Structure 1
Amino acid sequence: METAMKPRKRFRLRFDFWSIVTISAFAFFLLFLVYPLFSIFINSFIVDGRLDFSNYQEFFSYRYYYEALLNSLLVAFFATIFACCLGIPLAYIMTRYDLPFKNLINILLVLTLMSPPFIGAYSWILMLGNNGFITNIFSDWFNIDLPTIYGLGGMIWVFSLQLYPHIYLYVSGALKTVDRSLEEASEGLGLFGLNRIRKITLPLIFPTVSMGAMMVFMSAFADFGTPRLLGQSDTLLPVLAFEMFINELGSSPAMASTISIVLLTITTSILFLQRYLIARKTYTMNSMNAPKLVRLRWPLKTAMMMGIAGLLTVSLIPQATVITTSFRQTNGPVFTSGFTLDSYREVFYRVPNAIINTFTYSSIAMVFMLVMGLLVSYVIVRRSSKLTALLDSLIMIPYVMPGTVLGISLILAFNEPPIEITGTWVILVIAYCIRRLPYTMRSSTAVLHQIDKSVEEASIS
């Protein structure tokens, strides 16, 4: 039975607590998001103090610039494809078959997401770099030269292994809600095995798959640390924007702004494309009949467990490498035999302030995000209006905004009076909040939508 959508109420300004929350949220995002983006947009058209399109003409005319764009698209595209090839089959196996150690496997998969791709890139350099220990073993013992970890192939490898758990978590949640009767009905029509998955299961979970794929694409396309370590001669857009903004031979803020606008335009276009593909069809089902777990014979079960164990081992190698090498003895920059705690003593002796600042600023940002995310989510869900809908759209802009773009825009906007916060801890906390608030708010709104409003009304009485 279809129900007509309720029209949004017009926002009426009333001087109460929730009106103050709404106004404060708008002021915060207009000042620290819209104004910096406007500044970076205007700056991309400024050449020698006058309005000009030559920055964009230069970007698409010189191979050095547009090749970085092509490299970024290539790396993000193939990282997304490989992440889907790993995450979707793994999610299907884990949700449809009766396998042991599922809870442990889920925990290990989440652990692979705990470290940023930067750590994964550093770990793979220790193993497969020009002087990596795996590279040296194959070269010295077997006289085999392994492919280099540097370049586009290495970046795709690191991103794929780092980001496929996103696909797994999204898809496994969707597969658990697929109505079993639909798949059983498809078998009555002659669809079995891969044909049933391709024509019935995958179309039903397509919105979830596309959302996970978009997250992987955005993460790979906007990441700075991995291409900075592994790129060498293959430059990607985030690194190029950073180099244009901070360059020993002379910075070019205008070109950095132009590259940032190109980055933001592409990520926004990907978001709209994903929404367009979902809007073309209707994906609805009754999830009352959850799928049953299929029991496998031991040869097939053993083969699946060995495949999962192999994938997890490769995925967890970066974390294991970082932990192990942190205890290795060193002689200057060179690792020597034996294990020690000297590296930890040196870190806590030389850079204690960096450790304290990291935890302090992150904690401040976390508290602010939790409080603001909960309050704004309540306003958007419980006091729905055209104004709160606009606020919801405004908050989602950082979801598709690369970190490099956010950093450059904040520096350009707040590096001079009346608001001069560049180089202070305040701009770091603001950047953390702007970047991650959409995730906090989306989680809060999802929970609030599930709470019946009558519960709150009953509590008032």
Structure 2
Amino acid sequence: MQPTNAARALRPNPFKRLLQPKQWDFWTWVTVIVYVFLLAFILYPLVSLFYNSFFNDKGDFSLENYGNFLKLKYYYGSLWNSLKVSALATVFAILIGVPLAYVTARYNVKFKGLIQILVIMSLLSPPFIGAYSWILMLGNNGFITRFLQDIGIPFQSVYGWKGIVFVFTLQFYPHIYLYVSGALKTIDTSLEEAAESLGRGAFHRLMTVTLPLIFPTLSAGALMVFMASFADFGTPMLLGQGFKVLPILAYEQFISEMGGNPAMASTLSVILIFCSTAILFVQRYFVSRKNYSMTGMRTPKVQPLKTLPKWLLTFGALLVACVSIIPQATVIVTSFIKTKGPVFHPGFSLNSYKEILYRVPKAIAHTYSFSLISIVIMIVMGMLVAYVLVRRKSKITAMLDGILMIPYVMPGTVLGISLIIAFNKPPVILTGTWVILVIAYVVRKLPYTIRSSTAILTQLDKSVEEASISLGVPPMKTFFKTTGRMMAPGVMSGAILSWITTINELSSTVVLYTGATATISVTIYSEVFTANYGTGAALASILSISTLISLLIASKLSKKGLQL
């Protein structure tokens, strides 16, 4: 039934309301301010980046950069390299994550809580720390490499594209594990039981019934793995040794001792965004082709196993989780080993920690101060924007939600380059300041805080707010005194997860930092390249311990309040 003209006339028009500032309420002001923020620090830098890609190194408007990308293997080969390592890492992550999730979700294996903690810890550690740890173990002079060579087993090193895939797989398979294990615990078992009654074997049921039912969730996890691998800068930079991927090439074209080519860097960045967006749409297309809805009334029960199978599966699951946590353990142990320059010596010492406290104390202070400022902004903006998206739905807020999705497909290197291009000239010059780092962190991590905030808000009954307003409390005061307080536990646990990724951020920081604004992540990166492995391990240990403490705090908050 079509609405009448009278009904259309009575329906509130959000666009018309925006044109009348005198009628703006608090939430209209919030919407406008958020739009200004997004236009200034997401859309404007992206438009500047896109515009800059159409100028050659002489400053003439041209398609030369795109032509060179298509003609020269040096450029298009980097895209192929990125797609290759990302696709292989995704496949191997699925091969590890799905069986691990199935075993822990469906069978009564031991130490499930420990396995989950180890898996989450390996996920929240930055990839470049994993790469650095494997260099210590499997590099040209790694202790496992030397051991294998001493006993006559030929082994080169972890360097090259195979090492990159190996590190990506161990780093990102937890995405698959977490997504799939959640889906397996809530799947409707009636279809599996129907297949069993028709004589289908366990493996056949898994392949033809269970996996197709959880395909949307599995594909979402696979997308996370692919996008994280595709956008990562640190691991290929540390392990590549000449193997170029697109984020590295964009970085080198933009920041080069030989002068660089910012216009070509812009072109490569645009191609990165285009590929990331295309991958996102491909995943959504395949999910939308079929109907995956279930009643969810008959969730699966944990199946008891006999003693031997139970312990074999427990050992296998623990082995995978322990291998993935090896990088964190390695950097912590290595940080206490005596060093003299790049060489490790027998015995333990605190010299590496003394050296970093003497030599790079500002990097440590910058990491936590910049991240703290960013998190405060994210918490406030996340709660306010979540309220607008959930409680004030309109075409304007739907558009706002769409813009907030852009950072999901924007690699950190691209964000850094776009911010420099946009803000390195009057009237607003932010390049080289700490402000541009905070902006980058907020833009990159804000969507995660907003998602956790909207998830919490949708669970809260609106009647509490309405009762407060009916008693004469203004809407803004109601939000901060009532709604905000109820949202706080869940929002804080989500914000802590954003904090973890912020203190570990490398890809955007390495483009935006200067000597006066260096953080722990870029200092580790510099220490590894100058072969100062002891101090690099000490700095990496600080990040790992910070990650563990933050994860424990998030776990406590989520148990006290609402679950994420």
CA contact (8 A) 1:330 1:336 kept: yes
- Paired position in structure 1 for 2:240: 231
1:148 Cα deviation from its structure 2 partner: 2.4
Give per-residue Cα distances to partners, 1:266-308, cap 9 Å, x unaligned.
Answer: 0000111111111111111112222101001111112111211
1:120 and 2:130 aligned? yes
1:190 Cα deviation from its structure 2 partner: 2.6
CA distance in 1, matches of 2:386, 2:272: 28
- Paired position in structure 1 for 2:328: 319
- Paired position in structure 2 for 1:46: 55
Indicate the SS of the match to 2:158: coil
Letter in 1 for 2:231: A
CA distance in 2, matches of 1:314, 1:43: 44
CA distance in 1, matches of 2:149, 2:194: 56
The partner residue of 1:132 within 142, 153, 175 is 142
CA distance in 2, matches of 1:202, 1:102: 22
Indicate the SS of the match to 1:176: helix
- Paired position in structure 1 for 2:389: 380
Give per-residue Cα distances to partners, 1:428-456, cap 9 Å, x unaligned.
Answer: 00000000111111121222223333343
User: Comparing both chains, which one has the higher relative contact order based on Cα–Cα distances under 8 Å and sequence gaps of 6 or more?
Assistant: 1
CA distance in 2, matches of 1:194, 1:284: 22
1:90 and 2:100 aligned? yes
- Paired position in structure 2 for 1:185: 194
1:459 Cα deviation from its structure 2 partner: 4.2
CA distance in 2, matches of 1:186, 1:451: 39
Indicate the SS of the match to 1:282: coil
CA distance in 1, matches of 2:178, 2:280: 20
The partner residue of 2:112 within 86, 102, 105 is 102
CA distance in 2, matches of 1:207, 1:453: 30
TM-score under structure 2 normalisation?
A: 0.79
Letter in 1 for 2:192: E
1:431 and 2:440 aligned? yes
Cα RMSD after superposing both structures: 1.4
1:309 Cα deviation from its structure 2 partner: 2.0
CA distance in 2, matches of 1:143, 1:93: 37
The percent of aligned pairs where both chains have the same amino acid is 59
Indicate the SS of the match to 2:346: strand
CA contact (8 A) 1:9 1:386 kept: no
CA contact (8 A) 1:370 1:440 kept: yes
CA contact (8 A) 2:109 2:311 kept: no
CA distance in 2, matches of 1:197, 1:50: 58
1:189 Cα deviation from its structure 2 partner: 2.6
CA distance in 2, matches of 1:123, 1:9: 58
- Paired position in structure 1 for 2:408: 399
CA distance in 2, matches of 1:189, 1:54: 62
CA contact (8 A) 1:244 1:251 kept: yes
CA distance in 2, matches of 1:449, 1:197: 34
1:84 Cα deviation from its structure 2 partner: 0.7
Letter in 2 for 1:57: G
The partner residue of 1:76 within 86, 90, 105 is 86
- Paired position in structure 2 for 1:3: none
Indicate the SS of the match to 2:338: strand
Residues 441-460 of structure 1: matches in 2 within 5 Å? 441-460=450-469
Residues 341-420 of structure 1: matches in 2 within 5 Å? 341-420=350-429
- Paired position in structure 2 for 1:4: none
- Which residues of structure 1 form unaligned runs of 5+? 1-6
CA contact (8 A) 2:188 2:299 kept: yes
CA distance in 1, matches of 2:156, 2:274: 34
1:301 and 2:342 aligned? no
- Paired position in structure 2 for 1:21: 30
The partner residue of 1:207 within 216, 235, 238 is 216
- Paired position in structure 1 for 2:225: 216
CA distance in 2, matches of 1:71, 1:221: 10
- Paired position in structure 1 for 2:473: none
Give per-residue Cα distances to partners, 1:155-189, cap 9 Å, x unaligned.
Answer: 00000000001111111111111112232222223
CA distance in 1, matches of 2:97, 2:308: 23
CA contact (8 A) 1:9 1:385 kept: no
1:203 Cα deviation from its structure 2 partner: 1.5
Letter in 1 for 2:93: A
Indicate the SS of the match to 1:113: helix
- Paired position in structure 2 for 1:291: 300
1:151 Cα deviation from its structure 2 partner: 0.8
Indicate the SS of the match to 1:234: coil
CA contact (8 A) 2:118 2:322 kept: no
